[in-house]
Amino acid sequence: MKALKSDSVLGDIWGGTAAMLVALPSAIAFGVTIFSALGSQFGAQGAVAGILGTVALGLLAPMFGGTNRLISAPCAPAAAVLSAFAIEFMGRGGSPELGLLLLALMGLLSGGLQLIMGGLKLGGLIKYMPYPVVSGYLSGVGMIIIGSQLPRFLGTPKGVNFLGALTSPGLWRWQGMAVGGATIAVMLLAPKVTKKVPAPVLGLVAGILTYLALGLFDPALMTLAGNSFVVGALGGGGGGLLETFSARWSALGDLGFGALRDLVVPALTLAVLLSIDTLKTCVVLDALTRTRHDSNRELIGQGLGNLAAAALGGVPGAGTMGATLVNMSSGATTRLSGLIEGIAALIAFALLANLISWVPVASLSGILLVIGVRMINWSSLGFLKSRSTILDFAVILAVIACALSISLIVASGVGVVLAVFLFIREQVHGSVVRRIASGDQTFSKRVRVQDEMDILAERGNQTAIVELQGSLFFGTTSQLFHALEADLKTRRYLILDMRRVQSVDITAAHMLDQIKDMLGERHGVLIFSQIPKHLPSGKDMEQYFDQLGLVRSGHPVRMFGEVDEAMEWAEDQIIAEAALPDNEESLLELPDIELFKDRKKETLIELEKSMETREVKAGETIFSIGDHGDELFLIRKGTVRIVLPLAGGHVRHLATFGKGSFFGEMAFLDGEARSAEAVAFTDAHLYVLSRKGFDAFADAHKKVGLTLMEGLASVLASRLRYTNAELRALEG
């Protein structure tokens, strides 16, 4: 066990260190991007802010978040939102010092909002963001990063936008393009050569070496002061790091209510996007490791990490996919790896702080360009190939358009609204009516005598059995009414099988109430069967119908636990209306039973001597599955159900036999053990004919015995014909 623990710690150390090597170059690049928007002299501060954000998130997020193997660091959404805010703020004539303070306050506010989200248990909601929205938002962030970094890659002066940089070759500086090109080339080719060293690290090293090689031919490149090709001195606009830190918070005196008000929406945007980014990574991690993260706890951990990062002047971040996957593949198993990543980043900062000044800006731009291109979901172009997914592509396109022209939070909101519309459209176009069957083709499990079956074959079309499915809501109400409209004009009994219904809203319930009234005007009945007790939403549909007055007593509406019970009730009403003589209280004599009609009275008297009579109380078992018995049971009065016992004490209802019917014929014919269980549904009076008694009677009355067997076969064949007709109706 100790050896295993030692291996686990070693894996966490290797994983955390490798993850730091992936996260740190990107974090530096993100920091430079954000802070350079305040002025090129603040690029060095941005590099330090990226490192400080990596350290703070690495130390706190794993400790309080608790998701094993997750690596948290500054990320692309943070760079997109914060740099856009900084550019807009400076465009309004703001001061860089106040801009630094506002960036820190935005990080604090977003971290606080994440704490609130976690405390209010909103983590489970954020992770259910629709895929087209997430795809569009990530692609939008990628395009924003590309748009902000391409001018830096080309070396154009500050203030030149994306289109201006592309259309002004005269402003391009080949030295920066060479450094950035080397970085991109190595990042793309490195994984094909080795995966032991992260591609961003090799790309950054390639960029630095290219820059140093150019410096051999151009001594101006080896000068730090006034050199726009490199990050520059860590003091930023002047002074050391401590002076810069204190100067930032001293700007609190210049902070007004308007500036704070302008922070709210960007901070909310940042909090939501960082949360989505984190939980999306956690979901992928769960799938790869077969674990389950705690969304709300993770939001609290991320919020604390971002609060600490902002308080130190660092860049906020989230759980990042690339570093997390490297961490896992390097052998990490616990959240200790996240702490190791933070500690390793702190050590790297202490050892390499002086070298950061010489990191080429174009090399960082190259890293971000690769990240931006990879964030774009190119596979979504495949949605254009199918008509069924072209609208999903439209949602992605709308999100990207809003992200580029308005803001990321507006883009997410627009995407969610469009995704809801797509969902409603899908529900509306999907049929809520699974099947409609007629009562003269589909019958209950009640086994009836031939006279009753003839009536049902002739008049059973007064009943319609409608299997519903999906969601009954305002979007499908009209569809349901049109599907039932023809039946409402001709049927008297409308059975709605509700077992596959997922939800019902008040609009659908009102429409069902109207259907009930329409049937009532024609002395018909609306029948509900198998109403779900608990819908996926937790709603009790039966209680909901009762609250709306849909199933109150005195109304032309009935409810049954199973569709078969509803069909049996409707069949009983049709048979009763046909005035078929039937006194349920009287006992049938042998000549009255269908199997022995038109037989000589003397012969039946002789046969009755071979039988015994039996009375069974409701609920008593007549025979059980596996019993060895060969008796044929003929029902003089009452009803008997044939059921199949299942696991967990459940039973499946196979058939119901009523007055004048017989059951037990399989064992009577083949002598095998009983294959089901017979239970008296009501008090029953039975004739019982054993095979031994029948054989003795048949020896003396061979012709009658043969006729009896033929009659038995005829009744069974008749039942089979009705079953075949029902199967054909179901297939149609």
Q: How many whole angstroms separate alpha carbon 513 and alpha carbon 656? A: 32
Here the tokens at position 425 are 């459209």
Beta-sheet pairing, 632-637 with 662-663? antiparallel
Q: CA separation (Å) from 284 to 127, 223, 324, 399?
A: 11, 46, 10, 23
* Closest among 53, 83, 222, 227 to 144, alpha carbons compared: 83
Q: Which residue has the tokens 């999907």?
A: 430
Q: Which residue has the tokens 């954020």?
A: 126
Q: State which residues of the chain have pLDDT below 70.
A: 1-7, 126-129, 158-159, 226, 232-254, 256, 408-409, 427-428, 536-538, 579-584, 718-719, 721-732
pLDDT of residue 527: 94
Beta-sheet pairing, 621-623 with 317-319? unpaired
Q: How many whole angstroms separate alpha carbon 558 and alpha carbon 546? A: 12
Q: Euclidean distance between the first and final Cα of the chain, in Å?
A: 64
- 549 within 8 A of 513, measured Cβ to Cβ: yes
Residues contacting residue 404 through CB under 8 Å, at least 6 positions apart: 140, 143, 144, 147
Helix ranges (DSSP H) in 406-476:
408-429, 450-459
- DSSP letter, residue 360: B
pLDDT of residue 198: 73
Give pairs for 589-592: CB < 8 Å, separation 24+: 589/636, 590/634, 590/687, 592/660
pLDDT of residue 465: 94
Q: How many whole angstroms separate alpha carbon 105 and alpha carbon 262? A: 11
Q: How many whole angstroms separate alpha carbon 188 and alpha carbon 199? A: 7
Cα angle 474, 475, 478; round to 5: 85
pLDDT of residue 636: 92
HEC letters along 89-130: HHHCCCCHHHHHHHHHHHHHHHHHHHHHHHHCCCHHHHCCCC
pLDDT digits (tens, 9 = 90+) for 600-654: 788 788 888 889 999 999 999 999 999 988 999 999 999 999 998 888 778 888 8
Structural domains in the chain?
Answer: 2-377 (no CATH), 430-577 (3.30.750.24), 590-731 (2.60.120.10)
* Closest among 430, 391, 406, 443 to 571, alpha carbons compared: 443
Q: Which residue has the tokens 């998130």?
A: 57
Residues contacting residue 225 through CB under 8 Å, at least 6 positions apart: 233
Reported residue count of the chain is: 732
Q: How many whole angstroms separate alpha carbon 566 and alpha carbon 318? A: 56
Residue 172's identity, in one-letter code, is W
Q: Collapsing DSSP states into helix, strand and coil, what is residue 527?
A: strand
pLDDT of residue 730: 52
Q: How many whole angstroms separate alpha carbon 377 and alpha carbon 388? A: 19
Q: What is the DSSP string of 611-663?
A: -EEEEE-TT-EEE-TT-----EEEEEES-EEEEEE-GGG-EEEEEEE-TT-EE
Say how far residue 133 (Cα) sits from the centre of its chain.
14
Q: How many whole angstroms separate alpha carbon 564 and alpha carbon 425? A: 34
Cβ atoms within 10 Å, residue 584: 10
Q: CA separation (Å) from 500 to 464, 477, 652?
A: 17, 16, 18
pTM > 0.85: no
Backbone CA torsion sign across 574, 576, 582, 586 = positive
* Closest among 375, 397, 366, 383 to 199, alpha carbons compared: 366
Here the tokens at position 703 are 């012709």
DSSP H helix total and E strand total for the chain: 26, 16
* Closest among 141, 177, 147 to 164, alpha carbons compared: 147
Q: Is 362 exposed, middle or buried (0-12, 13-18, 19+ CB in 10 A)?
A: buried
pLDDT of residue 376: 85
* Closest among 344, 297, 384, 400 to 12, alpha carbons compared: 344
Cβ atoms within 10 Å, residue 118: 24
pLDDT digits (tens, 9 = 90+) for 1-38: 344 456 678 888 988 887 887 788 889 889 988 988 88
